[in-house]
Amino acid sequence: MKRSQSLSLCLLLTSAITCLATQLPLLTRPSLPASSTSNTELLSLHRRLIEIESISGNEQAIGDWLASYLVMHGFQVQKQYVTKDRLNILAYVNSNKTDILVTSHIDTVPPYIPYSIHNGSIWGRGSVDAKACVAAQIIASLRLLQTTKSTKSLSLLYVVGEEVSGTGMKYFSANAPSNYSAVLFGEPTEGRLASGHKGMMSFTLSIEGKAAHSGYPWLGIDANRILLHCLNALEKLEGELPADKVLGNSTINFGMIQGGVANNVVPASATAEISIRIASGSPEHIRDLVQDALKPIKSQTEAQGGHLSVSFSNRGYGPVRIDTDIPDFDSVSVNYGTDIPNLEGKHKQYLYGPGSIQVCHGPNEHLKVKELEDAAIAYEKILEYLLRDN
Ligand SMILES: *[C@@H]1O[C@H](CO)[C@@H](O)[C@H](O)[C@H]1NC(C)=O
Ligand SMILES: *[C@@H]1O[C@H](CO)[C@@H](O)[C@H](O)[C@H]1NC(C)=O
Ligand SMILES: *[C@@H]1O[C@H](CO)[C@@H](O)[C@H](O)[C@H]1NC(C)=O
Ligand SMILES: *[C@@H]1O[C@H](CO)[C@@H](O)[C@H](O)[C@H]1NC(C)=O
Ligand SMILES: [Zn+2]
């Protein structure tokens, strides 16, 4: 532990870097007592991470805590401020130019659920998504760094904002250009290597009609009815969207619809928030299909004197292929989005994590202690493979 106290804590402020202490003497790996990589330490790290509430937007406390934990355990740490109180954490030994990046996110969805452990399982917000990944990755990396003879090196990156729009990873990608040969992402995959996930795009439909007395509907333009036509057209389109052998069908979610003011008034406006999970094809192609499907309704609406607009919030992203070429692991495709498309680069990419996505974001988020312990062993195996000198 003595050695680690001489480590420097560097602050990466937007683009400028300040180191609080002088650089280290030559140090090739953290040298720590065996207890610092035990299963007891794994459980206590996981517990501490869950006890610090870190709902997206409120990640400062967990970022600061995690930075000092990593410094105490022999890493050099750069804090990358995404905004003045939201920070990504990058940890490494010796140099931040490494071959491998190991990453996950430190934010969670709301509401906060306190930590509890009973009957061999751990409960609480983030217990699976993704604090189990964070804890298991850190302990696995520490174990590996004690023993590896590889000339390759790794960094750990913990980002903010994954649950909302990937702000943290997008910021890292734009501001810390890097050249990794492989990146290992952590999200719950029930202990298997994910082979891919669908892409995603979202848009808003807005219809302006004209209000009238419901007894005289011909005096108005019924925005809700126009919306119904749009939803019908999109539902029909859903069956024709490109599918993929591995990822399955593309699917449409009519996530939120609103319209009208009262049962006896012809509705003057209606909106719908819609997203599409893309199994195959580019977001541009899907956008064209959506626009074509709505074109006849749009002209009809405009001929009546109403207005229909389709606005896409951003480009979205296409289906993501993930590498699975690590011996002795099963693979599985998943249906959720990740930070993988937010990190630019030509690296190989892997996705692995303990626990089931099915309980994440819900009130009964939990995993077995055994799953957490097994994940640390599995991460160590994966990293050993990625760090091998070939
Ligand atoms: C305890 O866990 C076991 C195995 O996970 C399960 O079968 C059992 O129902 C649990 N018991 C209680 C009281 O939750
Ligand atoms: C590594 O640190 C340098 C400055 O010391 C910085 O310019 C660079 O962006 C950092 N790289 C990463 C991947 O954070
Ligand atoms: C990235 O790494 C590859 C292989 O290690 C190397 O050939 C290439 O020059 C590097 N590119 C940059 C921009 O550093
Ligand atoms: C995919 O869609 C087709 C029809 O478009 C349907 O027959 C099939 O059951 C769907 N597959 C899945 C996995 O939902
Ligand atoms: Zn997650």
Would you give the distance in Å from CA 18 to the centre of its chain?
A: 29
Side-chain-facing half-sphere of 253: CA atoms under 13 Å: 9
Cα–ligand 5 centroid distance for 345 (angstroms) = 21
* Catalytic residue set: 162
Give the tens place of pLDDT for each residue, 132-141: 999 999 999 9
Higher pLDDT, 254 or 24: 254
pLDDT of residue 3: 35
Among 249, 252, 277, 333, say which to mutate for ligand 4: greatest number of ligand atoms within 8 Å of CB.
249
Percentage of residues of the chain with pLDDT beyond 70: 92
| Nearest-atom index, ligand 4, CA of 239 | 5
Q: Cβ(119) to ligand 1 under 6 A?
A: yes
Cα–ligand 3 centroid distance for 96 (angstroms) = 15
Would you give the distance in Å from CA 380 to the centre of its chain?
A: 22
Beta carbons of 4 and 119 less than 8 angstroms apart? no
The pLDDT confidence band at residue 54, using thresholds 50, 70 and 90, is very high
pLDDT of residue 28: 59
The answer, yes or no, to whether residue 4 has pLDDT greater than 70, is: no
State the chain's mean pLDDT as an integer: 91
CATH 3.30.930.10 describes domain 32-197+319-386: no
The pLDDT confidence band at residue 17, using thresholds 50, 70 and 90, is very low
Give the tens place of pLDDT for each residue, 240-273: 999 999 899 999 999 999 999 999 999 999 999 9
User: Which pTM was predicted?
Assistant: 0.83
The answer, yes or no, to whether residue 362 has pLDDT greater than 60, is: yes
Cα–ligand 3 centroid distance for 340 (angstroms) = 20
pLDDT of residue 201: 95
Q: Cβ(96) to ligand 2 under 6 A?
A: yes
- Give the separation between CA 225 and CA 267, rounded to whole angstroms: 9
The answer, yes or no, to whether residue 274 has pLDDT greater than 90, is: yes
Give the tens place of pLDDT for each residue, 201-243: 999 999 999 999 999 999 999 999 999 999 999 999 999 999 9
Q: In 3D, which of 86, 84, 42, 39 has the Cα closest to residue 62?
A: 86
Cα–ligand 5 centroid distance for 128 (angstroms) = 8
pLDDT of residue 21: 36
Q: Structural domain boundaries of the chain?
A: 32-197+319-386, 199-312
CATH number for domain 199-312, candidates 3.40.50.10490, 3.30.70.360, 3.40.1390.10, 1.20.1250.20: 3.30.70.360
Which residue's CA is the closest to the ligand 1 atom numbered 3?
A: 119
